[in-house]
Chain A
Amino acid sequence: MAVTLEVAGVGKDFLIPVIDSVSFSVEAGEFVCLLGPNGCGKTTLLRIVGGLEPPTRGTVTLGGEPVVGSGRHTRKVGVVFQEDRLLPWMTLRENVELVQKPLGIDGAARRATAARYLALVGLAGFEDYHPARVSGGMRQRAAIARALAVEPDLLLMDEPFGALDAQNRRIMQNEVRRIWRETGRTILFVTHAIEEAVAIGTTLVMLSARPSRIRELVRNDGRVERSKLIDDLNTMIMEEVERQQRSAPA
């Protein structure tokens, strides 16, 4: 259950180097936010950690087991993508039940687990709705319930609230924070919104401009005042954005 995520010297090239070399480790139960200027490879890094893409260099281990491109390890990973990626022809309940099938859980238990997590994300009573019948925020909640239903060792979230309006975004941030407290899952959360990261993360990893390295790793434990932290991070991100623009080919 309690496993450590170890990212060691991970880099990725797509024709040009996107990620130079990134190393950090995440203790079980941490809520890590991955920040950085647009195009610095945040999503790519998350996909490498999730085993959806192989790194060009470096290794990722989850509880000591290497995470390779095909994701063939015994650790369980849940992913909440930018889009909900729910199957539109299945009800919310069926969507959450589906991902438990490969775990060899019997039908009654799948149903109970689906009901429990749908209730946890505030979707009790909507179990039998199809995704097209509920709002975008509710679909993203269902995607979170689906990710939690496999009881993941690591929960990856890739700007999950990017498509939501400001009000729903605020609500969902509080919800994710609450879900994290109630489930104790280890979370790696990609965002480009500094306020969001400071509001919900326990550890903030700021990436530099492309080819990215770690610019700053901040423990968000209240020792630094929030408003000052936000200001500092904003300054850093603007510096990185400028650096990226200067180095970009004309």
Chain B
Amino acid sequence: MLSAGRWAARLHLPTLAVAGVVVAGWVLLSWRYGAFVLPSPLAVLHGLVEIVRSGEVWTHTGASLGRIAVGFGGAIVVALGLALAAFVSRTARGVVHDALAVLNATSVFVWIVVSIIWFGLSSWAPIFTTFMITLPVVASTLVEGVESVDRRLLEMGDVYRLSGRQKFAAIVVPSTVPYLVAGMKVGFGLALKVSVVAEIFGVTSGIGYVMNYSREILATQMVFVWALVMILVMLAIDSLVFDAIARRLARWR
């Protein structure tokens, strides 16, 4: 965990000042247009406390993160396979490149609609959407990592007759891991945003579902509460997981 000093350094004064201005503006606008259009910060805070107390926050966040774990996890596994193929075969590298370019050019909405047609109103729809959207992101960075392995180091491995497996473990993997972590960081951010959109349709749990439900029952403050939850989850995972891994990887630099 971060010490008090580090927190103080992170939340530096100018940022706090800007936050203060935003909150003040928020209060004024909420006053002017009413709680249905823009609920006050206090109402949002109340809502947050309420869902934390009732445990509802864990149910829906857990459901969303569970789907992300499956969809994004699957994307990482497949991306590793693609990167390996691209490393082993030049032909495969070309195919993977082109396939990823096509996937990258496909809209989120295509996958949402298609997944509802294919999987109906089930958890598999957001899982599949998350998978299809994060796969090209993670795989592209991984393939890039594999391609940027220093040929001179591989040649050094040849001089000393390292076997294919030894070169892979000692040279290829360590030089690709930073790309994997970078790809996962970007991919996770995307996964959270995309899976929530896909949850609007056809499922009865998850942050996306509950946000849309709150809108339908005219509980605008809850829409803001869940948006806040999403932001907090994103920030927490970024600093607790990805920043920690990045720091560990930078040890030898």
Contacts and interface: CB of A to CB of B under 8 A. Distances in A.
Interface string A54-83: 000000000000000001000001110101
Contacts of B160: 78, 98-99, 102, 146, 150
Contact of B252 (A77, A88, A150): A88
A89 B174 CA distance: 7
B232 interface: no
A101 interface: yes
A146 B160 CA distance: 10
A105 interface: no
Interface residues of B, number: 18
Contact of B159 (A71, A88, A90, A101): A71
A98 B168 CA distance: 13
Contacts of B171: 87
B153 A71 contact: no
A26 interface: no
Nearest to B162: A102
**Residue in A50, A88, A89, A132 whose Cβ sees the most chain B Cβ within 10 Å:** A89
A8 to B, nearest CB: 22
Interface in B117-160: 152-153, 155-156, 158-160
Interface string A77-111: 11101010101111000000011011000000000
B152 A85 contact: yes
B161 A98 contact: no
Contact of A87 (B153, B159, B251): B153
Nearest to B163: A102
A84 to B, nearest CB: 10
Contacts of B155: 52, 85
Given A83-B152, A85-B152, A89-B174, A71 B158 contact: yes
Contacts of B90: none
A50 B163 contact: no
Contacts of A81: 152, 156
B137 to A, nearest CB: 25
A102 B153 CA distance: 16
B30 to A, nearest CB: 53
B161 A71 contact: yes
Contact of A98 (B162, B175, B251, B252): B162
A101 B174 contact: no
A169 interface: no
16 contacts: A52-B155, A78-B160, A79-B159, A83-B152, A85-B153, A85-B156, A87-B174, A89-B174, A90-B252, A98-B160, A98-B170, A101-B166, A102-B161, A102-B163, A130-B252, A150-B160
Interface of B: 152-153, 155-156, 158-163, 166, 170-171, 174-175, 251-253
